[in-house]
Chain A
Amino acid sequence: MKRRSFMKSMMAASAVAAAPMALMAKEDAPKAKKKGPNDMTYDAAVAAITGGKEVKDSDKIKLTVPEIAENGAVVPVKVEVDHPMEENNYVKAIHILNTKNGNARCVDVMLTPANAKGYFATRVKLGGTQEVVGLVELSDGTFIKAAKSIKVTIGGCG
């Protein structure tokens, strides 16, 4: 009888001990996700840029990124747009976005016909494996985009 009661009490104790552990883990999860100063989701960022307009996938945009980034803190991104740069028909803006960082926006570049080519290159930080999106606004108000996924071995967003 002693053994049985002992087992019972042990079972109860472990159950009691396990319950708060599970609760704590749940509470910790949102805390662990750090918040940046300008956090914005990808969908919200696209909506803010386009104002709800339709965005078409296009092969006019050449997005050059590495397939595997060993260091997420420095990922080179190059965007080239095959579009004329004339007085009334030019690439108005190139936006570089990511899909999973806290802040989905990286850079917004406003171009003018003086640039002569729709080209922009920079380096960005990526927190993990995700997609990089080049969203391009043309002077007639239409939006086109191209996306490429990057495998990130070590995240670079703090």
Chain B
Amino acid sequence: MAETEARKSMIKIKPKKYKTGDIVKVDFIVIHPMDTGMKKDKKTGEIKPAHYIDNITFSFDGKPFTTMKVWETVSTNPYFSVNFKVPGKGKITVDYTDNTGEKNSKSKKLKPKD
């Protein structure tokens, strides 16, 4: 249903300046309701169905380095932060799916300053 709807998401690399071999923080933030399936909709009074992200894959140049399994207990508009050792120039891609089958991905280029 929501495959056409693009979600706002963001990848942040911290610190902003880094070299090859440095350990950086890769933060992934996505705007997502993360409904638990227990809350009532204030307008209609009906219980909202569960809608949450369930799988996330962080990859560098197509090679996955971190995978996550997520449940509805994670907050609305979640953020996930992991460490990563910069192997050189390349692209970090985050693919995520949710329990309704919605698939999305977000990429960011890594440009180490040597």
- Asked, given contacts A36-B36, A36-B38, A114-B60, whether A107 binds B72 with beta carbons under 8 Å apart, the answer is no
Tell me if B67 is interfacial: C-beta within 8 Å of chain A.
yes
- Asked, given contacts A37-B50, A158-B39, whether A75 binds B75 with beta carbons under 8 Å apart, the answer is yes
A105 touches B36 (CB 8 A): no
Chain B residues with CB under 8 A of A122: 74-75, 78-81
Measured CB to CB, the nearest residue on chain B to A95 is: B69
Within 8 A of B (CB), among A62-107: 73-75, 98, 101-103, 105-107
> Interface range on chain A: under 10, 10 to 19, 20 to 34, or 35 or more?
20 to 34
> With A and B bound together, what is the CA distance between A117 and B81 in angstroms?
12
> Interface range on chain B: under 10, 10 to 19, 20 to 34, or 35 or more?
20 to 34
B68 touches A103 (CB 8 A): no
A73 touches B76 (CB 8 A): yes
Q: How far is the CB of A39 from chain B (nearest CB, A)?
A: 10
Tell me if B70 is interfacial: C-beta within 8 Å of chain A.
yes
Chain A residues with CB under 8 A of B67: 109-110
Tell me if A60 is interfacial: C-beta within 8 Å of chain B.
no
Interface string of B30-68 (1 = CB under 8 A from A): 000000111100000000001000000000100011111
Measured CB to CB, the nearest residue on chain B to A45 is: B71
> With A and B bound together, what is the CA distance between A101 and B64 in angstroms?
31
Binding site for B on A (CB under 8 A): 34-38, 73-75, 98, 101-103, 105-112, 114-117, 119-125, 156-158
